[in-house]
Structures are given as C-alpha cells and as structure tokens.
Amino acid sequence: MKSFLSVFFLMIFSVSIYSQTQEIKKKTLEAVKINSEDINLDGKLDELLWADITGIDDFLMQEPIEGGEPTENTIIKIAYDEKYLYIGAILYDSEPDGIKAYKMRKDAPLNTDDRFMWILDTYLDGRNAYFFEINPRGLMGDGLLTIGQGRTLNKDWDGIWRPWTYIGDFGWSTEIRIPFHTLNFDPKISTWGINFQRTVRRKNEEILWSGHKRNQGLYRPQDAGIVTGLNNISQGLGLEVVGYGKVEGSKIENYSGEGYIKDANIDGGLDVNYNITSGLKASLTLNTDFAETEVDERQINLTRFPIRFPEKRDFFLEGANILRFASSSGVYPYFSRKIGLQSGNPVPILFGGRIIGKIGNIEVAAKQVKTRETGFGNSEDFSVLRLKQNFLKESSIGVLYTRRHTNKGKEFIPPLQDRNTLGVDLSLNTSTFLKNKNLQFQAFAVVHNPNSLDEINNNIWDRSARGLRFNFPNDPWSGSLSYREFGVSYDPAVGFSRRNSFRRVEPRIRFSPILENSSLIRELQWEVSFENLMSLQWKKLTQNIRLTPLSIRFESGDEISYQIIRNFESLEYNFDILGDKSIIIPIGNYTNWLHQIELETANYRKIVYEIELNTEGFWSGNRTEYQNNLTFRPYPGINLNLGYIHSRINLEEGNFKTNLIRFLSDFDLSPFISFSSNIQYDDISKEIGMNNRFKYTITPGSDIYFVYNHNWIDDAGKFKTTSMMGASKITYTHRF
C-alpha cells in the first residue's frame, strides 16, 4: 500500500511540475496615463479622454452557454495617473427597465442584482488578487482572493476606493477610482493580472473577459488576462493612521440576579499601518475596540460538538487569506476568535501588532496581541506566525506557529504552561492536468505541546493531527478523496477542533451538466459521498452515506433538491442533549435515515422564499425540522428577512420542540448611509437579543457608528432585561 501511494504521489507531482511550466497566451488590455483634471467622476464616461482610450469588449459567456456570445455588450477601459487607477465600463442593456439593483450596503451579497466584478493581481503571480464588485446603484464589495482548494475569497478586507454609477436608456455605466495606496504591488512591475465578469441577473447570464470555462472563472487569478502600461505609479509614503473615539454606556444584570451593574465611559484608540516595503505592511493597534462589530447568528446546537462561528473583527480579518491553513481539510490550528473573546464575550485588547505581505515568493503573516486582565481571566499574550513558500505556478508549502502565554498561569490548578502549536501544509495544484483540467493535492500535519503540566505524559502522536486530500474540481465531473487523523489529546490553544480522537475517510463524486439547449432547466446535479469516521483503534464511530438523487437549477433561477442520508452513530458516553440533564441519550449504536428537500425561489425577485424540510430518524426516535426563510424587498435599499427554524423531536427518553426566530432588516439610503436591526430568539436559551446599528461613511475609511444592543430572558413567563448597551463611535483614516 505504501509503495502504491508513493508511486501515485510521484505521478501527480510529476504531472504538476510539467503542466505548470506550460505557457498560455494571456488576453491583454493597455492602461493609458491621463491628467486627473480631465476627468469628472459621475459614472457617465462622457469625457473626451474616454473616447481616446481603446477598450475591450471581447467577452464570452460562462453561463448559460459556455463560450457563447453575450446577449448584451460590455466595454471596459483603463486609465491611471500617479495616484489612482481608473476603470470605466459601459454595460449596455436592451431592457434597462429590467436591470436589478436592490442593495446598497457595502459587501452585501449580490446574488440578487446585476453586477460588475473585477480582480487585480498586482504581483502577476496568479496566486493572489484584490477582488472588487459593484451593482448599478454603487454598492461596493471587496475582498482578498487566494488560490487553493475551494473558493478562498475573504470579503472582510476593506479597501479605500469608490465607484460612481449611472443608469440610462442604454443600460448602465460606471467610473471607478482606486487609490494606489490602498493596494500592495511591486512598483518595478508595469504589468498586472486583471479580469472582469458581468452578471445580467434577470437572464442569469454570466460573462467573462478571460477564463470563461466553467472550471475557470474570475475567482482563479491564474486564468486572468493582463493590463500593461502601469509606469511610474507609487503608494506614496505608505503610512496610514486610523484613530477612533467612543462613548459607551451599559447596564448588565448582577450575577446575584438582584439589580444591575451600570457603567459609562469615554474611550479611544489608534491603529498605525506602514508599508515597510511595497509588499510588506506593519500595523500597530492600541486599545483596540470592536463595539461596531455585528453579532453572531444564533444557532441551536443539538450535537455533541461545538460550533465554529466566523470572525467579524476587522483587526483579525486582514491577512486571513495568508493565515488560512490547509483549506478544505477541516483543520484549524489557528482560530482568531480564541484571542480577545471568551465564551463569546469580549476581552479587552491592550495592544497588538502584525506584519502582513510578501517577501519575494514567500507570503508572511505575523501577529502579537496582549489582552487585559479582567474579573474572569488573567492577561494573556498571543503570538502567531505564518510563512508560505510558493513554488511552480500554483503550488506552495507553508508553516504555521502559535503561542499562548497566560500571565501567572503556573499558579493555576492544574498549572498552565506556554502552549505552542506547529503546523506544516503542502499544496500541489495544477490547472492544466490533461490539458485543461484542475487537479489538486493537499497534505498537513499539526502538533502542539501539552496544554497543562498534568498532561506532560501525553505522547506527541496523541497531540497531533495529520491528513491529505485529493481534489478534482471540474465541470461537469468533480470529486475529492480525503483522509485525516486527530489525536486523542489534540486541542490547539489558539485553534479550533470540533472533534478529536478519530480517523476519517471521505470520498465524494459529483456530476453537474448544464443543459444549454433547454429553455426550462439550467443545470442538473447528482452527487454521492461517503464519510467513514473511526476511532484510533479502527472502531466505527460515525458513518454517513449521502446521496443527492437530483438537484435542479431552473433557467428562472429557482432551485429544488432532494437528498438522502444514512447515518450511523456509536455513542460512547451518555449525551445530555439539552444541556440541562432533562433528556439523556444512553450509550449505544444508532442507525437512522434522513430525507431532505430544499426549495428556493430566485434571489432577484422582490419576494424570495426558501424552505428546507428534514425528516429523519434521530437517536432513539425521530426528528422533523422545518427551516423557513422569507425575504421582502419592497424598494431599493430596503431588505427585510424573516427566518424561522422549528424542530420536533420524539425520543424514547422524552420529547421536546425547539424554535429559533430571526428578523433582519436593512434600510440603506445610499451606499454610505445604512441602518440595520437584528432580532433573534430561541426557546432553548429563552433569550431575545436585539442588535441595532447605524453607519454613516463620511469618506471611505472614515465612519460614524451608533450601536444599541438589548437582551432579555424569559423569567417565569415574563421577559426581563439582562443587558443593555449603547455606543457611539467615530473612526477617521488618514493616509500619507
């Protein structure tokens, strides 16, 4: 078996080396240098300078007909001066009244609207790119794009840039200005990677300038074209100062249950960012605050394992694309929510520093953070270092190191020592396997020292995780095969592990053809996967056989799918399913079937409804679950969403029901003025939470926030306040 794997790995590696040395001719667009005084940014492209610039219009369909001629014409032109990159686009539309543009909030998902997207690969390495998108009303979305297994788009990066848009009887147009100081690039290189994609939403038509095949696309920088002529551009001094001031008041229920603890304060902080080199940025944050951060989406957890919530704090989001470790392999040796948060509650950060960027072919991310001492925890120091060496065209090898130091940790019982974690990941990727197919291989290994001195006898195998993954992400056929092992004591101190002490094998295959000649159905999909999770002694613990007999995406954008799952669980300890000891699932083996039906209407409609129905055997009994999601968009800028999840569980040990309700409302007067409200309730915690946030963007990078949070709990049939918080915060960014 080892010989077979060695030969197979050598074959894959050899093909990867050969295929990544093949040169492919790129589409080319020339940028023209202009005088900034000659342009009036209003979205109309009626200045003489635009008429003198030769643009591109050679787009091709990705959907519905791969390689087909677009039904609407699109023209793109590029200009620049010493400080800014300008993109001018005319997006013709034969039915301008049919243009969809509901949203205006920054980074809102644009699966509802017509959109224009582009990427900038400023190092021309085909590995990383800046991502941008707009809709006809000037909504701005941006992020950082990295190649890898799966889509690796981090939309939490916020650049300082601005579009101007105009809707007319010809369709719509835009003028976009991107300051060079918001980007990292090598000033010695006058050629960047670039690509464009347009969506005509009412037709569900996707067109691209370069990489129009279904297994290519905008999210793959290696498939982009190039823009030439970017000479004598500069980031300026490379110094950015971001200051904030905050006024906050709060009222929190006393732990004794009698009375409230009231507090009010005025606070401030400072972030300083400096480009050490054109590709390497250093940052320092003092007295960091996250009062404006949105709340987590509440979930009812009826599993035996914890839930991983996404990071939403700005300081920890930048550089997340470099810090990502063995993406798609389900291992998280670094999880930023372990820093400055404890059980979801914020822990004040005294200061933090980071270095992010590139040194030649090496990607670098380093962070050092110190938290304050609080009434429920000692001060701690966190260190994170990530180095990733790129080689060939799409492959890399990386190392990740984290350290957690608790002040006076050795006085604890049991004593806490410094906790160190080390991980190594390898990625071998090619997009020219069998000429034009994608093939990917990934391997990782993670190990950490004992978390406390009483675990000193645990061996290194128990405190480690390792795995590998083959991936064939193509259309219409795709598939993957993965294997991973997590030791019995694996628990990285600055990481996340949902489950340990197992071996897991999971093959998956999918067939998803597009019916180009059908006027009713756009895409069909069939999929089968097999998850076999065993103990380290090879005993079967969890087994899932998933079959999707049919999933249909209609030309209208509506979708329907049906899935069958056969589940086996070996429960090795009694499971307190509600956490209150009212219902205990006993040790034993459980085999059950699940049937799932999903229906979703097209997102571009004013009223969108999504329903998921699950009926399944559940431990010793059964569960029926309904997930309903209703969205109403009466006017552009107003988005109202009501979600309701109901579960009815009948077990031999007892019966119960769960309900979770979410109401989200967005009121956006413009891309720069917005108000949102998030109200959530579930009958397990019996808590109502309300988060309200008003945001006014003075200029990109400088904002005013007003936040009000209120939480109630059901106390003997009456809801009483557990906490209230109101805050006003202003941030101001100045770049030199």
The pLDDT tens digits of the residues spanning 352-370 come to 999 998 898 899 999 999 9
**Is the distance from CB of 682 to CB of 659 less than 8 angstroms?**
yes
CA-CA-CA-CA dihedral for 63, 67, 68, 71, to nearest 10: 60
Residue 240, SS3?
strand
**Is the distance from CB of 418 to CB of 383 less than 8 angstroms?**
no
Q: Angle at CA 107, nearest 5°, toward 101 and 113? A: 20
Place of tokens 């707009």: 134
Average pLDDT, the chain: 91
pLDDT tops 70 at residue 4: no
**CA 400, CA 385: separation in Å to the nearest integer?**
6
The pLDDT tens digits of the residues spanning 118-155 come to 999 999 999 889 999 999 999 999 998 988 776 678 88
Confidence of residue 374 (pLDDT cuts 50, 70, 90): confident
Residue 112 CA to chain centroid, in angstroms? 18
pLDDT tops 90 at residue 10: no
The pLDDT value given to residue 150: 65
Residue 584, SS3?
strand
**CA 205, CA 137: separation in Å to the nearest integer?**
19
Q: Quick one: average pLDDT of 73-99?
A: 96
Residue spans of the domains in the chain: they are 31-228
The pLDDT tens digits of the residues spanning 304-317 come to 999 888 888 878 87
pLDDT tops 60 at residue 624: yes
Residue 562, SS3?
strand
Residues 187-210 as b or e (16 or more Cβ within 10 Å = b): eeeeebbbbbbbbbbbbbbbbbbb
The Cα-based distances of 390 to 128, 361, 385, 441 in angstroms read: 11, 5, 16, 15
Q: Quick one: average pLDDT of 220-237?
A: 91
pLDDT tops 90 at residue 485: yes
**CA 115, CA 732: separation in Å to the nearest integer?**
29
In DSSP notation, 131-180 reads EEEE-TT--EEEEEEE-SSS-EEETT-----EEEEEEETTEEEEEEEEEG
Closest alpha carbon to 59 in 43, 75, 35: 75
**Is the distance from CB of 32 to CB of 53 less than 8 angstroms?**
yes
Confidence of residue 3 (pLDDT cuts 50, 70, 90): very low
Closest alpha carbon to 242 in 128, 186, 318, 344: 318
Size of the chain, expressed as the number of residues it contains: 736
Tokens standing for residue 381: 């120091």
Q: Quick one: average pLDDT of 415-436?
A: 92
**Is the distance from CB of 201 to CB of 117 less than 8 angstroms?**
no
Q: What percent of the chain is predicted at pLDDT more than 90?
A: 74
The pLDDT value given to residue 238: 83
**Is the distance from CB of 523 to CB of 514 less than 8 angstroms?**
yes
The pLDDT value given to residue 21: 47
Q: Which residue has the higher pLDDT, 716 or 703?
A: 703
pLDDT tops 90 at residue 292: no
State the number of CA atoms in the 13 A half-sphere of 260 facing the CB.
12
pLDDT tops 60 at residue 16: no
pLDDT tops 60 at residue 92: yes
The pLDDT value given to residue 12: 52
Can you name the CATH fold of 31-228?
Immunoglobulin-like (2.60.40)
